Amino acid sequence: MSDPNQPMIGKVCLVTGATSGIGRVTARELARRGATVVVVGRSRERAEATVDQIRRATGGPAVEFLLADLASQAEIRRLAREFRDRHGRLDVLVNNAGAIFSSRQESPDGIEMTLAVNHLAYFLLTNSLLDLLKAGAPSRVICVASDAHRWARGIDFEDLQGRRNFGALRAYGQSKLANILFAGELARRLAGTGITVNALHPGFVATNIFKGDGWASRLMQLWARLFAISPEEGAKTSIYLATSPEVECVTGQYFVNAKVAQPSKEARDEAMAGKLWEVSEELTGQPEAV
């Protein structure tokens, strides 16, 4: 692995879900390496505290925050506009925010929450910032997925939002499969642009992604207490993909423990990835961007 202190001076990085867990660690370590870091969270209080904590830990003043509820497409678009107002380029986008919902809920746009937060937010935010990623090229898009994608036997396009048959773990696994399919499809579409796109499994991390008090959430919280690794350990692959010169030209891959790994055969299905892209465009109203 490369030097962990690889400098990021002059780089602009955006990290979603950065007020806790592996997102906060990722943002902190990018700031420690000299990057300008924009932290994205929902709570102003937590975002301000995170920025203050990172500044004190790193001595770096170039840390700021933007607020957005990534379940809302209007807020994602506002986030992209506000980022553009502050910065003329984007070197590293870390799509990190995610959650498991113990019961079926719908976003402000009427979309099942797991799909909205874990996949469509990645899709819409990345596409909304593509011009700035191109301006920052060579630049990097990092999608935090999970080996939980292996729970899904494909994308159920007939019941994508779980209206007929919702299961919390099934929905989560499908959303993580969507992360890898999206990363692969975007990498193919951006070939030759200088933008790399990779997905990763951070490990089973002790975080607060388990939303609700249903049995699935309680079970995951119990597993986390018994078996989970720390956010510091879980963030290592995200940091590696954001900073290492070893992966500057690597794209369309899935990483585990900072090494290329093979995801499930469903995650390598290019026809499924293409269909997911089309459905995602329909659900977000996002025009062809790449």
- Catalytic-residue membership of 254: no
Out of 122, 172, 240, 254, which one is annotated catalytic? 172
Sheet containing strand 139-144, edge to edge, reads: 63-67, 36-41, 12-15, 92-95, 139-144, 195-201, 254-256, 259-261
User: What's the chain look like in SS3?
Assistant: CCCCCCCCCCCEEEECCCCCHHHHHHHHHHHHCCCEEEEEECCHHHHHHHHHHHHHHHCCCCEEEEECCCCCHHHHHHHHHHHHHHCCCCCEEEECCCCEECCCCECCCCCEHHHHHHHHHHHHHHHHCHHHHHHCCCEEEEEECCHHHHHCCCCCHHHCCCCCCCCHHHHHHHHHHHHHHHHHHHHHHCCCCCEEEEEEECCCECCCCEECCCHHHHHHHHHHHHHCECHHHHCHHHHHHHHCHHHCCCCCCEEECCEEECCCCHHHCHHHHHHHHHHHHHHHCCCCCC
Cβ contact 255:201 at 8 Å = yes
Q: Which residues are catalytic?
A: 172
